Amino acid sequence: MKSVCYLLLLAVFSATVANATATPREGAQKHDYGQFHFYTAVTPDWVKPAKIPKTRGKPQGQSTEYALLDTQIYADPNNYQRYKAYSYYLHNSQAVSENSEVEIFFNPDYQELQIHKLQLLRGKETIDLLRPELFRLLQQEDDLRKGIYHGAVTAIAILPNTRPGDRLDYSYTITGRNPVYGDKVFGAHNLGWSVDVGLSRVRLLVPANIPLQTRVHDIDLKYKKSQKGDWVEHTWTAKHVPGRADEGDYPKWFVRYPLVEYSQYQSWQEVAGWAQSLYDSVDQNAPELESLVAKLQKSATDSEDYALAALDFTQEQIRYLGLEFGLNSHLPHSPAEVLQNRYGDCKDKSNLLVQLLQRNGIAAYPTLVSYDFGKGFTDFLPSPLAFDHVIVNAYIDDQQVWLDPTRTYQAGRLKDRAQLEFGSGLIVDERRQNPVIEIAALPEQLDRVEVTETFTARKINKPVKLEVETEFRGEDAEFQRYYFNSYSLDEISDFYINAYAKLYPKISLDKPVRFKDNRETNTLTVYQHYEIPEFFEKQEDLFQSNYHTAAITEHLKNLETIRRQSPAAIGLPRAISHKIIVNFMGEVGMTIDSTPQIKKHPALEYRSRSVLIKSRFEHQARLWIKQPWVMLDTIDDYVNLAKFIQNDSHFTLNFAYPYKQQASPAVNALLKTLD
């Protein structure tokens, strides 16, 4: 249970009871490819083929004209089927190069693939390409890098003899469904893409005795509902659907493409009940589990100590690995299996952590969350589709906390650890009337970066010493802990010095980079030491030197698209501080504006100030990211503020040296009277 995208690709949109081995249509021809197979067959009787729109000519900026996107669902509890049909015109050589392959995803553990049509239309000629030898069935395991095995297979056909001007049509049906979803019907289908679509349609056949909610997101379409016998037909049709330009920087909760969804679930409480039935079916007892509980209890002084020890064990002693075949896409493995194998995915690790906490008297529950949608899952109809991750909700010393056993390199007390980014979650506890709950940070829980750069000059024409101290807290400390464990100090030193070389090309390393990892407070501090020759540049009667509060600009999001139609994501909440100290070789003549700069926006706040006291200059800049997104009506204000911060982060000091402060005329007059 790692990726909603994966679920969408396999069309886990509508879930009904399905046999583990789906039944192909009578008369279908079976074609073996290694250990896998597929069928060729005529289109099922229940399908209503769509009329393919005629070409409207090459769309501006697109080489391919997408004429038809047709999805039809036959929600028979004993013979679930999903039919898909595509048609597109290849207007030029680029279209031929990009769209002369067909890829179809299915999971042979519980699905059968039947291909009905694969053809080219060239003028009045129809060229049949439905030849079994064109297809290869590959188990690519695209999520292998993430430690996930799900058993999906891709049927790939590389089409011969495609030419500019051709129209490519293909259709197929996938029979069968993951039985983990039980007998509920639910689904979600895009009706548009980043490119124009001539005709986009979703058609659903569902038994009349199944109550169904439906919802349409951000598109004008024609909806038709009718009943024939024991079946109800829902049809959503949209013509000439314009493509949505990719503006980038979308918040997780933002629905980018037009969408239609339906669900038999009437509430999120019902979804929590479905999830709880899975966890309740797992054998939670194991001698190894009891031994581990006793060991953790022996070393803990209080509930938080015990919870932290249990969390550290599930994070560091159980490696992340997801064997998500069939039911185990959502059904956790037992604690006994996880402890024996010493691996598991998010649901396995979370279930183990819940059992460890509960056995010490700590109230704890698995909680379903969404990496893809964040807090926005509540904008959808209730269904399991909303979730792609599991964490743990617990109550420790009367305080609600959120724990993610899939994270690594965490340290410190609960308040010191990274705040979780999901916004909201669904607690797996069907007794709650409203299991949807906000995932809020603890009062002191905020990720921080604090940089102090100290430039020390002994003589105007000698190299300047630069000492950099950077303190990371929360998630930033955890990332740095990973970074320093994954790369050598030489590699890290090269990265750091090259970053500074962009501003100071002649910079050199004075001392090796070192770091101090305080795991008690989840703080990691990095120390850098450099020499910079020719730091002060002579300009007529003045010297000058350049500075940059890079920590501020590194965390300041520059939007890919400014004139946009959507809100923008700007990064997770955190506090960033960058202080620059310059110790001059003596008193300098320099005019400084010490007026504090204070700029506020609903999503962030910025403050900076400079001061000069004799031979010491200080500049402090602070940035607070208060929320992860900027709403559309404040985009212009954000862009203007970001531009101000960028300009404020780069500055040049111009000064006179040597310098002897002259008394004002009034002071000189007073001194004469005293004489």
- Residue 25's pLDDT is what? 63
How many CB atoms sit inside 10 A of residue 328's CB?
A: 20
- Residue 14's pLDDT is what? 39
Asked if residue 281 and residue 417 are part of one domain, the reply reads yes
- Is there a domain that residue 183 lies in? yes
> Coil, helix or strand for 25?
coil
Asked if residue 421 and residue 305 are part of one domain, the reply reads yes
- Is there a domain that residue 161 lies in? yes
- Residue 145's pLDDT is what? 54
The side-by-side arrangement of strands in the sheet containing 464-473 is 508-518, 523-532, 464-473, 447-456, 574-583, 616-625, 604-613, 597-600
Q: What is the CATH number of the domain that holds 11?
A: 2.60.40.3140
Contact residues for 84 (Cβ-Cβ < 8 A; gap 6+): 70, 71, 72, 171, 172, 173, 174
Got the DSSP string for 266-284? -SHHHHHHHHHHHHHTS--
pTM metric for this prediction: 0.89
Residues of the chain with pLDDT under 70: 1-25, 140-150, 322-329, 661-675
Specify the number of domains making up the chain: 4
Take residue 277 and report the two structure tokens written for it.
């039935």
- Is there a domain that residue 423 lies in? yes
Measured between alpha carbons, how far is 82 from 79 in angstroms, rounded to an integer?
Answer: 10
Give yes or no for a contact between 267 and 197, defined as CB atoms under 8 angstroms apart: no
Q: What is the dihedral of CA 317, 322, 326, 330, to 10 degrees?
A: 70
Give percent helix, percent strand, percent coil of the chain, each to the nearest 5: 25, 35, 40
- Is there a domain that residue 249 lies in? yes
Contact residues for 535 (Cβ-Cβ < 8 A; gap 6+): 455, 457, 463, 464, 504, 545
- Is there a domain that residue 426 lies in? yes
Take residue 278 and report the two structure tokens written for it.
């899975």
Asked if residue 557 and residue 431 are part of one domain, the reply reads no
Quote the crossing angle between the two packed helices 346-358 and 287-299, to the nearest 10°: 60
| pLDDT tens by residue, 288-297 | 999 999 999 9
Which CA distances in Å does 196 have to 242, 511, 563? 4, 58, 21
- Is there a domain that residue 472 lies in? no
Take residue 66 and report the two structure tokens written for it.
């997408």
- Residue 152's pLDDT is what? 84
Asked if residue 675 and residue 605 are part of one domain, the reply reads yes
- Residue 81's pLDDT is what? 95
Domain of 35 in residue numbering reads as 4-264
Residue 342: exposed, middle, or buried by beta-carbon count in 10 A (0-12, 13-18, 19+)?
Answer: exposed
Asked if residue 456 and residue 502 are part of one domain, the reply reads no
- Residue 21's pLDDT is what? 47
Asked if residue 327 and residue 233 are part of one domain, the reply reads no
Take residue 267 and report the two structure tokens written for it.
């509430």
Measured between alpha carbons, how far is 365 from 279 in angstroms, rounded to an integer?
Answer: 10
DSSP class of 503: T
Asked if residue 617 and residue 484 are part of one domain, the reply reads no
Asked if residue 456 and residue 344 are part of one domain, the reply reads no
Asked if residue 596 and residue 503 are part of one domain, the reply reads no
- Residue 23's pLDDT is what? 59
- Is there a domain that residue 210 lies in? yes
Q: What is the CATH number of the domain that holds 624?
A: 2.60.120.1130
- Residue 185's pLDDT is what? 94
Left if phi > 0, otherwise alpha if psi is -120 to 50, otherwise beta: which for 291?
alpha
Asked if residue 427 and residue 457 are part of one domain, the reply reads no
Q: What is the CATH number of the domain that holds 293?
A: 3.10.620.30
- Is there a domain that residue 471 lies in? no
Which residue, 204, 238, 264, sits at the end of a domain? 264
Take residue 214 and report the two structure tokens written for it.
């439906």
Asked if residue 328 and residue 243 are part of one domain, the reply reads no
DSSP class of 179: G
DSSP class of 8: H
Nearest to 477 by CA among 515, 513, 514, 440: 515
| pLDDT tens by residue, 31-40 | 999 899 999 9
